[in-house]
C-alpha cells in the first residue's frame, strides 16, 4: 500500500511533467508546479530543492524501465522464442503507457531546447549501457551455443527498433493512443521470429 508521502510525490511529478511540457524547463517555476500539484511551496521544496532536481527525477523515471531487467538469466531449457517474447513484452508493456509517452515527449522536447538537458540524457543512456536486458541475455544465449551473433549491440538495436517503429514512435510523435495488448503481442511475435530466424543456430 502506498504511503501518503509517496502519493503526494507522485502528484508532484505528474504536475511537473504537465508544467514542463507547457512552459519548458527554463520558463517553468517551482511556484507554478506547486499550484498545479495543489501543494504548498514548502511541501514541494521538502522533496525537491529546485526544478532541475525535479526534472532529473523525471528523466530517471524514463530510464528506470531497464533496471529490473538486469537479473534476467538465459534458460537453456526454455525455448528462445518464449524467453525473448516474455523479456520484450515486459519492457514494451511499460513504455507504451500514456504516462511514459507523456514523459518521453517532455524529455525529447527539452533536449531540443536545452543542450544541458541533452548532455544529462546522454549520461543516463551511457550509464545504462544496455537495452531491455537483451545484451546480457544474448551473450548468455551465445555462450550456451543457441545463437550466433557477431555484433550484439547492432542486433539488439535492430530488434528493438523494428518493434518501436510500429508500436512506439508513431504513438509518441503523433499522439496516437498506445497500441492494444493484442497489437503489441503481434508485433513482438513477428520481431521474435525474425530475430530467431536470423541468429538461431538451429535455423541455420
- Which of 101, 109, 100 is closest to 24 using CA atoms? 109
- Which of 171, 102, 107, 163 is closest to 132 using CA atoms? 163
Question: What per-residue confidence (pLDDT) applies to 87?
Answer: 86
In a domain, 70, yes or no: yes
Say how far apart CA 40 and CA 46 lie, in whole Å. Answer: 10
For residue 178, the enclosing domain spans 66-203
Domain match, 100 and 42 both? no
Q: Please state the domain count of the chain.
A: 2
Say how far apart CA 123 and CA 135 lie, in whole Å. Answer: 19
Domain match, 91 and 118 both? yes
Question: What per-residue confidence (pLDDT) applies to 76?
Answer: 92
Domain match, 33 and 78 both? no
Half-sphere exposure of 117 toward its Cβ, with a 13 Å CA cutoff? 22
Joined grid coordinates for residue 60:
530517471
Question: What per-residue confidence (pLDDT) applies to 60?
Answer: 77
Question: What per-residue confidence (pLDDT) applies to 1?
Answer: 40
Domain match, 82 and 129 both? yes
Domain match, 45 and 133 both? no
Query: Which residue stretches of the chain have pLDDT < 70?
Result: 1-7, 62-72, 94, 117-118, 120-132, 203-204
| Alpha helices, DSSP H, located in the chain | 4-27, 30-37, 41-47, 51-63, 80-95, 98-113, 115-128, 134-143, 152-167, 169-174, 181-199
Question: What per-residue confidence (pLDDT) applies to 64?
Answer: 60
Give the CATH number for residue 5. Answer: 1.10.10.60
Domain match, 45 and 101 both? no
Question: What per-residue confidence (pLDDT) applies to 204?
Answer: 61
Domain match, 75 and 122 both? yes
Amino acid at each position: 500500500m502506498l504511503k501518503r508521502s509517496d502519493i503526494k510525490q507522485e502528484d508532484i511529478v505528474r504536475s511537473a511533467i504537465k508544467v514542463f511540457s507547457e512552459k519548458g524547463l527554463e520558463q517553468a517555476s517551482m511556484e507554478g508546479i506547486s499550484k498545479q500539484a495543489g501543494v504548498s511551496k514548502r511541501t514541494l521544496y521538502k522533496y525537491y530543492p529546485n526544478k532541475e532536481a525535479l526534472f532529473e527525477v523525471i528523466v530517471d523515471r524514463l530510464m528506470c524501465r531497464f533496471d529490473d531487467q538486469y537479473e534476467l538469466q538465459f534458460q537453456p531449457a526454455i525455448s528462445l522464442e518464449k524467453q525473448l517474447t516474455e523479456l520484450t513484452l515486459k519492457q514494451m508493456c511499460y513504455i507504451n503507457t500514456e504516462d511514459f509517452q507523456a514523459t518521453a515527449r517532455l524529455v525529447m522536447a527539452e533536449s531540443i531546447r536545452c543542450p544541458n538537458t541533452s548532455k544529462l540524457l546522454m549520461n543516463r543512456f551511457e550509464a545504462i549501457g544496455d537495452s531491455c536486458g537483451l545484451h546480457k541475455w544474448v551473450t548468455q544465449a551465445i555462450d550456451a551455443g543457441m545463437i550466433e551473433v557477431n555484433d550484439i549491440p547492432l542486433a539488439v538495436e535492430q530488434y528493438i527498433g523494428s518493434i518501436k517503429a510500429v508500436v512506439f514512435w508513431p504513438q509518441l510523435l503523433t499522439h496516437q493512443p498506445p497500441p492494444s495488448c493484442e497489437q503489441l503481442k503481434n508485433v513482438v511475435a513477428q520481431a521474435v521470429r525474425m530475430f530467431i530466424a536470423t541468429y538461431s543456430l538451429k535455423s541455420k
